Structure 1
């Protein structure tokens, strides 16, 4: 009798413990276990129970985003990742690389985007929803929509005085600087594509930031880089001069000014700004400047 009572009581305690978990906590546990079948059942139950829970929308999005990812193995002439397998021929020369990448299922992504779009519409101040969508757009290299989402966040931030929230509707700490730092990361991501087709997107983001925050040095630098790559050296110098006035000791700005003057053929100003770069930069920067000045002097 005692054993039966103990078992029944233990079962009762376990049931209470499971029920005490929120849907969100249960979903996180299932994600850890990689049990997608149970995740789907839980999400369907969650949606019937609390269809307006903001965490439901992010969880649906995470479910579909994960479901969309499919490993892809390809044989290529070029290495596309640090973990690529190298196959060599009889002469010990590289024959090909076995590269692993990820492809994305369009239908699963479509479902995921549908849920996160609903979430953003209902909870527009939730920055995690916006940036979660932006992250996946970057992963699938849809950089036009990636850029549009970044710009929407900047502009909506103005309407709410950047009073952003995150998971569980908790306020974002130092929201303006957090948003601007994230946007800088997105701008760097565009630059790192090494694709000139992304220069207009970099420019749009920089100009939108500067529309509201004209003293944002990172965006001034980003804009100047686009201008230099477009060979608009005078425009780049004007943009960087604004940044220099804001912070005369920013060695990145000073180095970019040196590069702009050098590209323009103005060696005197190039030398001036290289020397200022070395003055305010660390030892690595000083060594870089030394090399640049040597190259500059060689061409005299």
Structure 2
């Protein structure tokens, strides 16, 4: 019995060592952008330990990095990357020459399929889910980006935010840190400046509130999606819900005041700016006082 136990322990240690060596070798070749040896390591790794969680993340990284292509482009509009301004004989701007990033869809699809396999086997691996969301935001594919976030929020209610990260290490922070991460994706959508994506923000906010009804940031996000489209009553309603959760949240109070101001209800706007003065920090107080003065003129 002891001999069998020693043999099993030896096998486990050996397999763990192999995984670490493959992972280390893969990362080494990533640093030198050596895709030939990256694939060689992945192929050997797959033969030795095909269900290794880190193998899936490494395959995903390999295909994602390989799919990313940079080309020189000539454009009449300023390019997002680094570039040069082209001048004509009169020293007027004639165009722009610079680099543009695009993604090879077939190669990218291979990576997404691999990470999907990994998520299916290791549904608690949040780094896999976030890695996929990151890639979808880079393409960008905002519909799939939103869909993947919603799937992750839904699963958070199943595992009670007991997530793991790379090397299957426990990820601390629970619900609080998880919702902070989701908030960064909401900000990413907002920062695009694309009003068409307000509906995506709304979908994510509603999904969060389905499982975390007291999440003030999501109530505020939901409000923004309506206030920016002129639906003021719909925008004010979630903020009033947030006020009931925390009556002293001066950011919420200020946003309610702004909502009423946009709606044209000066009396209620002034009342909420006065609440902001009562509970806000110095900057919020100064802004609220200025708004009250303007509204009373």
* 2: CA distance, partners of 1:283 / 1:97: 45
* 2: CA distance, partners of 1:190 / 1:176: 21
Q: Secondary structure at the match of 2:62?
A: helix
| Counterpart for residue 242 of structure 1 | 241
Q: Deviation of residue 72 (structure 1)?
A: 3.3
Q: Secondary structure at the match of 1:73?
A: strand
* 2: CA distance, partners of 1:162 / 1:70: 36
Q: Deviation of residue 192 (structure 1)?
A: 1.5
Q: Secondary structure at the match of 1:180?
A: helix
Q: Deviation of residue 88 (structure 1)?
A: 4.5
* 2: CA distance, partners of 1:98 / 1:282: 47
| Counterpart for residue 120 of structure 1 | 119
* 1: CA distance, partners of 2:283 / 2:94: 38
CA deviation vs aligned residue, 1:250-295 (integer Å, no higher than 9, x gap): 3332222122111100122223333444554445545554665566
* 2: CA distance, partners of 1:296 / 1:97: 47
- How many pairs were matched up? 281
| Counterpart for residue 10 of structure 2 | none
| Structure 2 CA distance for partners of 1:239 and 1:52, relative to 1, 3 Å | same
* 1: CA distance, partners of 2:222 / 2:274: 23
* 1: CA distance, partners of 2:80 / 2:116: 32
Aligned 1:1-300 pairs, distance under 5 A: 22-81=21-80, 83-89=82-88, 93-286=92-285, 288-289=287-288, 292=291, 296=295, 300=297
| Structure 2 CA distance for partners of 1:68 and 1:281, relative to 1, 3 Å | farther
* 1: CA distance, partners of 2:52 / 2:18: 17
* 1: CA distance, partners of 2:81 / 2:270: 38
CA deviation vs aligned residue, 1:136-171 (integer Å, no higher than 9, x gap): 001112111111111111111111111111101111
CA deviation vs aligned residue, 1:198-248 (integer Å, no higher than 9, x gap): 122111110110011111011000000111123221122111011122223
Q: For structure 1, which segment, 140-149 or 264-273, has the greater mean C-alpha deviation from structure 2 after superposition?
A: 264-273
TM-score by length of 1: 0.85
Q: Deviation of residue 189 (structure 1)?
A: 1.1
TM-score by length of 2: 0.85
Over aligned residue pairs, what C-alpha RMSD do you find? Answer: 2.5
